[in-house]
Amino acid sequence: MYSSAHAQAAHSRDEQSEHDHVGSFDPEPDPSAFAELTESLHAAQPTLSDAHFHFPGTWTSSGLMDFGAQSNLELDDIDYAFLADYNNTLPFNFETPMSSMQLDTAFIDDQNIQKENTPSSEFFRTPALRYNPSPHDHAGAEQANLFLPTSGDSHNSPESRVRLDRRTTTEKLDQQCRDKIMAMVLSTCKATVFRSMSVFPSVELLDSLYQLFLTSPLSEAESWLHIPTFHIAAKDRIELLLAAVSAGAVLVPDKTIQKLGYALQEAVRQLFAESIEANNSLVRYLPLLQAYMLNLDIQIWSGNSRKMEVAESFQQTILTMLRRGGRFRRSIYPSIHPHPEEHGEKLAQTWKNWVEQQSWIRLIFHAFKLTSEISMAFLTPPLISYAELFLPVPDSADLWTAPDAESWKTIMLSRSDTGVPRLSTIDCLNNLDILNSADHFDKGIAAASTLYSVWGLVWEYRQQSSAFQSPSSDSTILAPRYQELSRRLQYFRISFDHLPKTKYKARLSVNLELILMHLHLSLEDMQLFAGQEGQEEAARVRSSLKAWAKTESSRMALWYAGQVTRAAKSLPKNTLRDMSAIAIYHAAIALWSYPAILKAEAQDDPFAEQQRLRTSRPKGETPVRLDGPETPDVQRFTAFQRGLPAVERMNSLQTGPDPAYLNDPNAVIEAIVEIVQTNHTESTGIKPPLVENLVKLMQCLVAKQDTSV
């Protein structure tokens, strides 16, 4: 894919000083000419000041995602060299967006991320791993990433290399779309970046990134965006088109293209605020809210602490707009069905009304999914309550993906459940058998919303468990709730196993095991015990964690942590990302912390039974695979603590046949890191930034363990 010049450019990056500035690349365009173009294409709007988008405040909650501001996101001369080629040769194969990327990984920039070989006895408290806002952080910090050199070579353009059967529409973005995008993006920029206007991405590259987002299984776009009509909505609202281009760019496993995507994302975030301030009625406008939600998706899984905190802060905005607009109310979603005699424009209008209604419903459920996963990732309260979800579950996927009104009508009239009342998430939550007993709704979304509703219940249980810790409270309040939640989740597992396989089912299975793990442990207490908030807080939770470690609940937590890793192994290649990557990181913390808790117990009581976990494998002890199927050995371990818990090593040829035992925390973490690395081996490009950062954090756990031995 790359020429020798690119190889030299990649090598020179290693020698380049971190103080080099993008200003060394100087295309010397005429700023006044561009000002005229901008004025003619886009009505002038007041540019928000940097101060409006500076976010002072507390560090990222719970310290779970404390990466610090991601490595340098500004384009340098090497990035410009690569982007010059990308205007004519795409860095990915459009026909296979998941794995056929031939890229150089030599220039992964790890500044401001703690290096994997840097030991730290204060791992959970290291300020470098947290986002600590400074005056240098602002919305315009990435604006230099918006531009790339142009090229006159049109013989090997991205357009010529894209097969139409991999597109959602035969209609491509045109020069007018590019001009509108450029005008809107640069209306958010400082005047100092106009000097780079001539290197704004070409229309071919923008179109390819746009199509990549719509077709890639990684984006999950078709689950909540109506692909057959999306192009019409996107061209009508440039913010939505720009958000889709940005989302496609961050999926490309190339650092330079990702920087472009995140810079476009920052522009979309500012454009949304400007558009709303210019016309307040847009708070009820579906395409603009879809753009906002897509922008949150990009930020929250970016692996950049600043972006993640901004997204976490701004999720309440769109929820308020949806609530105030009445979108959570069931009454505004009447049943829409075509009549057999409907044809032509009348049928097209009926279909359009149905698409708009379903788009609102799916936007609500996507918001519920995102806010629930944010709650799971950061251990914060869910912002949407399960009790709000009385609106109908979306109609079946075959109706949603129907390419036109006639196809939709044919499918709708062939169904035998026309008069059946539409179900809600509350209905599914109260009767899990519904998930397997009907076909007139989207079972994948129904199962996901039901599971995330149970997460809301588990969150409430964990908060009550933290507040009511006396024996009397535990027996009268917590025990019945625990039993009910455990029963409900196990029953959900049975119903879930019978659902048809989809590309989203494997990822939902990871979340199921994670919720079960959190039901049995407090990850926040484990971090406090490890010293996240100092010795005083560590001492406060020490006794409760030692008592917990003696219970069956602690061993069940280990079992479910192992099941998280087992579910992660079943994920398709290159899909262990976003919430799934965070889930396996949570499991790693749980498995790493448990031996430390037993070590503290043994220090207080040298004859404690738990001390045996710290020794080498006793003769005759049975290894208990926490990441395997449930067996009698597993049941004996969870009930009576018989056997030695362990997880399987992915690369047994190099590490030997023995599994990684919990008495060797380093081996356990290395085994989990292998899971992540193996999932991404088919991609020769870089991993998603979030995955890269989580791997480094897990490797830091190994370094911390080494310094404490």
CA gap 492, 543 in Å, rounded: 34
Q: What is the pLDDT of residue 565?
A: 96
**Distant-in-sequence, close-in-space partners of 339: CB < 8 Å, separation ≥ 6:** none
- Which tokens in the block code for residue 384? 């949407």
Per-residue b/e over 26-43, b at no fewer than 16 CB within 10 Å? Answer: eeeeeeeebeeebeeebe
Match 């590019």 to its residue by tokens.
Answer: 178
Which DSSP letter does residue 46 get? P
Write the CB contacts of 62 (distance below 8 Å, at least 6 apart in sequence). Answer: 378, 379, 380, 523, 524, 527
- Residues in contact with 466: Cβ distance below 8 Å, sequence separation at least 6, in sequence order: 522, 525
| Other Cβ atoms closer than 10 A to 353 | 12
**What sign results for the dihedral spanned by CA atoms 474, 477, 478, 482?**
positive
User: Among 458, 424, 421, which Cα is nearest to 442's?
Assistant: 424
696, 116 Cβ separation under 8 angstroms: yes
pLDDT attached to residue 95: 44
Token pair, residue 254, equals: 């190339």
- Rounded to two decimals, the pTM is 0.81
Q: To which residue do tokens 């698409």 refer? A: 355
**pLDDT at residue 91 in the model:** 57
Domain spans of the chain, in order of start = 63-90+136-325, 328-414+421-500, 514-707
Q: Could you give phi then psi for residue 632, rounded to 5 degrees?
A: -55, -35
The count of C-alpha atoms lying within 13 angstroms of the C-alpha of 155, restricted to the half-sphere facing its C-beta, is 1
Tell me the C-alpha distance between 465 and 642, whole Å. 27
**Helix boundaries (H) for 16-152:** 31-41, 77-86
Q: Do residues 521 and 548 lie in contact, with contact meaning Cβ atoms separated by under 8 Å?
A: yes
At residue 353, the pLDDT reads 97
**CB-CB contact of 647 with 660 (8 Å):** yes
Report d(CA 112, CA 577) in Å as an integer. 21
Considering only CA atoms, which of 194, 303, 364, 256 is closest in space to residue 577?
A: 303
Q: At what angle do helices 344-378 and 286-300 cross, to 10 degrees?
A: 30
CA angle 311, 71, 674 (to 5 degrees): 90
Task: Tokens 């889930």: give the residue.
Answer: 583
| Residue 441, phi then psi, degrees to nearest 5 | -135, 170
Specify the pLDDT at position 671.
Answer: 94
Successive 10-residue mean pLDDT values, the chain, 709 residues = 41 41 37 40 37 36 51 58 61 43 31 34 45 57 51 43 50 84 78 58 88 90 94 89 94 85 91 91 95 96 91 94 96 94 94 97 98 95 96 95 95 81 93 85 94 96 81 66 93 85 86 97 87 81 88 95 96 93 95 88 62 50 88 92 89 64 92 92 75 89 60
> DSSP string covering 292-308, please?
HHHHHHHHHTSS-HHHH
CA distance 135 to 156: 44
Distance from the Cα of residue 705 to its chain's centroid: 28
Integer Cα distance of 522 and 406 in angstroms:
53
- Edge-to-edge strand order for the sheet containing 623-625? 623-625, 644-647, 660-661
